[in-house]
């Protein structure tokens, strides 16, 4: 596996580098690709398809990288209502609209 990895490593680096905006993360992603490939080598059925298999793993790892980076904002503390809204007021307002 190591010799095959060395054959494709630079091409994979270029592939990953073109797809992410954080150049510092390229080596981390490549390391993840190598680990995933090593752990799942038994799933590779045809040795000739190793290159495309590595690219598929690299693609999925890049997607995982972006999924983990999705920004989120914490909800404000005052957003939480202490009392339960039963919807009674909403029903009453809606009933006013339905009168003939």
29-72 tens-digit pLDDT? 999 999 998 888 887 777 668 888 899 999 999 999 988 887 77
Domains of the chain as residue ranges with CATH = 2-68 (1.10.1740.10)
CB-based contact 34:54 (threshold 8 Å): no
Res 19 pLDDT > 90: yes
Token pair 């690219």 is found at 55
Q: Are 7 and 47 in contact (CB under 8 A)?
A: no
Which structure tokens are listed for 68? 């983990």
The pLDDT of residue 82 is 60
């Amino acid at each position: 596996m190591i010799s095959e990895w060395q054959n494709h490593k630079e091409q994979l680096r270029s592939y990953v580098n073109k797809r992410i905006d954080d150049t510092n993360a390229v080596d981390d992603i490549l390391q993840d690709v190598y680990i995933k490939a090593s752990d799942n080598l038994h799933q590779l059925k045809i040795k000739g398809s190793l290159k495309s298999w590595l690219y598929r793993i690299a693609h999925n790892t890049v997607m995982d990288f972006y999924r983990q980076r999705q920004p989120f904002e914490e909800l404000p503390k005052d957003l939480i209502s202490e009392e339960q809204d039963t919807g009674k007021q909403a029903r009453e307002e809606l009933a006013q609209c339905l009168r003939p």
